[in-house]
A and B are shown apart, each in its own frame.
Chain A
């Protein structure tokens, strides 16, 4: 596989991978082994997290299309093997996060994909991309779920920072590009229809009231979690990659 043509994104922007149909891939064990190896690679590469999570969703019954998606990730890796995560000095060490949801993004079951990304100073330290477990009936519902996941992660990191006695900002900002969702956290007028949505909503809202977290609006073009929730064309993928501090090392 060393002589194949390099690509500049791990997943085609028009990718519509789905569970069925297609011919089953002949060597599912190999598929699973590579997916597991790729998962560890996201330790230093948040930018490929979405693509890796995507191929992971078909581990139980990979088809030839899914195998082609794996091969594309490997071709991307070949072109970017030396890319590294740059941990940089920052005097502020302020904690802030981004959350986003791609509503009903999965063609197979219309579940949404959520993603969060947490920075300490200018370094991303935590990220996740994954399909939500419950079907969201509106984009706001999907956004609540993503916000609740991001909030849980931030609370955990805040507790670690306290234990490490690192002075950090009193309130952590969570950026989200769904205006309706941000309004709802500042104005306690709420009309949720189902219990699980209420739980996500109140979980975040409690932390907002306690002034541990604030949810702020950010325009979609500055939303850094796009790369964790959808496939992107090369130009935007490269933009997010640099924002995620995945860099090609200076030639020595």
Chain B
């Protein structure tokens, strides 16, 4: 659906207002006068209907996505590499948690990429339909990350890892997506894969305190014991857990 189509519906208009409200309270950009030397990138609206398991509409979601493909290296982005967790690390941590009988929490970060802080100067046109009437020719100078930007995953990784280090975690040398906290004999492990986070450890009091601490910094939900992450279903058994890619396998066959 294009902005032109969506603009005719009140539901989508509300959804776009909500997204702008989020971006505004996040101080994502400030309006600045344009200058010919700026590389001003475009943006577009992406519309998605999120549904509950029973098919009922859960949310009309409008997301403002930056045209990352018009960014220029060295001008408005520098590094884009963001570490990807190794499958072995995940299986290793799960095996340890299962053997010690620890609960494996899954945390869901809302709008994860919007948390990234930009190091580069990035300029973007004002979003379609929501141009400031007083400053119509101004452009957005981005301070925080947007979905679509080349550095978005990296900026988010940096933001989360800096916060984790500030509250006492240490980054693993063997896998940079694994963070370890040792506190009065308690051991806590955190695995991050973009906006999927697994958290487990020997002391549930410390664990819950950490979740509260994370919630004070990020909009984040504790989904409780892990059931589904990275497309893998997790089921408990008498002896441990089963990891299943049942749905994923069926999707390949079809």
Q: Measuring CB to CB, which residues of chain A are less than 8 angstroms from any residue of chain B?
A: 1-2, 34, 37-38, 40-41, 43-45, 74, 77-78, 81-91, 93, 118, 120-121, 123-126, 153, 156-157, 159-161, 163-166, 247, 249-250
B244 touches A125 (CB 8 A): no
Q: B253 on the interface (CB 8 Å rule)?
A: yes
Closest chain A CB from B132 CB (angstroms): 44
Contacts of A160 in B (CB 8 A): 89, 92, 172, 174-175, 178
Q: In whole angstroms, how far apart are the Cα atoms of A73 and B131 in the complex?
A: 53
Name which residue of chain A comes closest to B235, CB basis.
Answer: A249
Name the residue among A2, A41, A44, A161 with the largest chain B CB count within 10 angstroms: A44
Residues on B lying within 8 angstroms of A by beta carbon are: 87-89, 91-96, 98-99, 101, 170, 172-175, 178, 180, 182, 187, 189, 230-232, 235, 237, 239-246, 248-254
Residue of B nearest to A78 (CB): B253
The answer on a CB contact under 8 Å between B248 and A40 is yes
| Nearest neighbor of B245 in chain A, beta-carbon distance | A44
Check A87/B95 contact, CB under 8 A, given A2-B254, A164-B180.
Answer: yes
> Which secondary structure dominates where chain A touches chain B?
mixed
Q: What A residues does B87 contact at CB under 8 A? A: 43
Set of chain A residues within 8 Å of B174, measured between Cβ atoms: 156, 159-160, 163
Interface of B, helix, strand, loop or mixed by DSSP: mixed
Task: Determine the distance from Cα of A165 to Cα of B175 in the docked complex, in whole angstroms.
Answer: 15
Whether A164 lies near B239 (C-beta < 8 A) is no
Q: Please name all residues of chain B whose beta carbon is closer than 8 Å to the beta carbon of A157 when the two chains form the complex.
A: 88, 92
In contact, B91 and A125 (Cβ under 8 angstroms): yes
- With beta carbons under 8 angstroms apart, the residue of B173, B180, B240, B254 that contacts A86 is B240
A93 x B99 contact (CB < 8 A):
yes
- Cβ of A247 to closest chain B Cβ, rounded Å: 7
B241 partner residues in chain A, CB cutoff 8 A: 86-87
| Contact call B244/A84, Cβ cutoff below 8 A | yes
Q: Are B253 and A81 in contact, CB atoms less than 8 angstroms apart? A: yes
Known: A123-B95, A163-B174. A81 touches B250 (CB 8 A): yes
Closest to A80 in B: B249
Option from B96, B231, B240, B246 in Cβ contact (under 8 Å) with A164 = B96
B245:A45 contact, CB within 8 angstroms: yes
Q: With contacts defined as CB atoms under 8 Å apart, how many contacts are there between chain A and chain B in the complex? A: 129
What are 6 sample pairs from A and B whose C-beta atoms fall under 8 A apart?
Answer: A2-B253, A41-B248, A41-B252, A44-B243, A84-B242, A165-B187
Chain A residues with CB below 8 A from B94, complex form = 87
Known: A85-B244, A90-B95. 8 other contacts (CB 8 A): A40-B245, A43-B243, A86-B237, A88-B98, A93-B96, A126-B91, A160-B89, A163-B180
| Residues of chain A contacted by B92 (CB below 8 angstroms) | 120, 125-126, 157, 160-161, 164
Measured in the bound complex, the distance between the Cα atoms of B141 and A65 in whole Å is 55
Give the distance in Å from the alpha carbon of A164 to the alpha carbon of B252 in the complex.
36
**A239 CA to B243 CA in the complex, in Å?**
20
Assembled-state Cα–Cα distance A136/B81 (Å) = 36
A125 → chain B closest CB, angstroms: 4
Q: How near does chain B come to A69, taking the closest CB pair, in angstroms?
A: 15
Report the separation of the CA atoms of residues A34 and B170 in the bound assembly, to the nearest whole angstrom: 38
B240 touches A43 (CB 8 A): no
Contact A165 B182 (CB under 8 A): yes
Q: When chains A and B are docked, how far (Å) is the Cα of A81 from the Cα of B246? A: 5
Which B residues touch A125, using CB under 8 A?
A: 88, 91-92, 95
Who on chain B is nearest to A165 by CB?
Answer: B187
In the complex, chain B residues whose CB is within 8 Å of the CB of A91: 99
Cβ distance B70 to chain A, nearest Cβ, rounded Å = 26
Given contacts A160-B92, A163-B173, contact A1 B253 (CB under 8 A): yes
Residue on A nearest B241 in the bound complex, by CB = A87
Known: A34-B252, A121-B95. A87 touches B187 (CB 8 A): no
Please name the residue on chain B nearest to A120 by beta carbon.
B95
Evaluate contact between B252 and A87: CB separation under 8 angstroms.
no
What's the least CB distance linking B238 to chain A, in Å?
9
Task: Tell me the smallest distance from the CB of B232 to a CB of chain A, in Å.
Answer: 6
Chain A residues contacting B96 (CB-CB under 8 Å) are 93, 120, 164, 166
B239 contacts which chain A residues (CB < 8 A)?
86, 88-89
Question: Per a CB cutoff under 8 Å, which of A88, A121, A159 touches B173?
Answer: A159
Q: Which residue of A lies closest to B248 (CB)?
A: A41
Check B182 against A43 for contact (C-beta < 8 Å). Answer: no
Closest residue of B by beta carbon distance from A93: B99
Which residues of the other chain, B, contact A85 by a CB distance below 8 angstroms? 91, 242-244
